[in-house]
Structure 1
Amino acid sequence: MAAPKREAKRMRPDDIPVLGILRQALGYHSDRQRVIAENVANANTPGYVPDDIPQSEFARALSGAQSTRRVTLNATEAGHIQGRVNSGGSGAWRSMATPDSETTINGNAVVLEEQMVRSGENRMRFETALGLYQKSLSLIRMAARGPGA
């Protein structure tokens, strides 16, 4: 009688904590860029106060994810025990009203120059996180190929 075929369990990138953190960073910077773009779009709206998602929100979500992380055991066969990391984290950010340095006569507090600086800084941080994520994946691929492959 032939042995039954076992389905190989595939590892997901989210199973690696560093990649999960980098994905959260990419999500944070993507959401922050959306908020900055909304500020720029409302640069002429009377009474508009710009929003931002401060870095402390990312740190809060990250520390919450680390404190709620649990390791559970997942037995696939008798004698095989594998640990699995469940990463928590909401990924939901709270935006806060952050008036820029000036307010116009109509009550609008958006200063385009300050928004452009925020956008540029955010873009650099996004690209850094993306580069680290891509490099991590390429290292995993290289390790999976094995020696001489």
Structure 2
Amino acid sequence: MSQTKLPQTDAEWRAWLIAKNAEPLAFEVTRRAATERPYSGKYETHWEHGQYNCVCCDAKLFDSATKFDAGCGWPSFYQAAEPDAIAQKVDRSHGMVRVESVCAQCGAHLGHVFEDGPAPTGLRYCMNSASLNFQKS
């Protein structure tokens, strides 16, 4: 876990993300559980080798080797980088029941996980690009 003290208030989170050069939608996505429009995120068609980290706290979330084209409009992965990297919560918003994926370290909203992904896990972590920061290997 990071030794850096993370922001607590909305104002602190906004300033933190601006200082990290996060895209403008990052605050709404990570702290307010907004969703970017399909096919609009910078990582949806991004295929370089490396790792995807949490834009808020830099925790390692996904390896590029587990990214696949789900055709859904958001970057999709079939496995988290570490078993405890992603926490899950029941999301009953928008008149449906889904499983929300959040960063286990800082609680940032990342997206949702579905059970229609490829082998070996059968999972599809459908993530918002605005919640991720790519680090080339």
Q: TM-score normalised by the shorter chain: which range applies?
A: under 0.3
Tell which has more relative contact order, 1 or 2 (C-alpha 8 A, sep 6+): 1
Hey, which of these two has a bigger chunk of helix by percent?
1
TM-score by structure 1 length?
0.22
TM-score by structure 2 length?
0.24
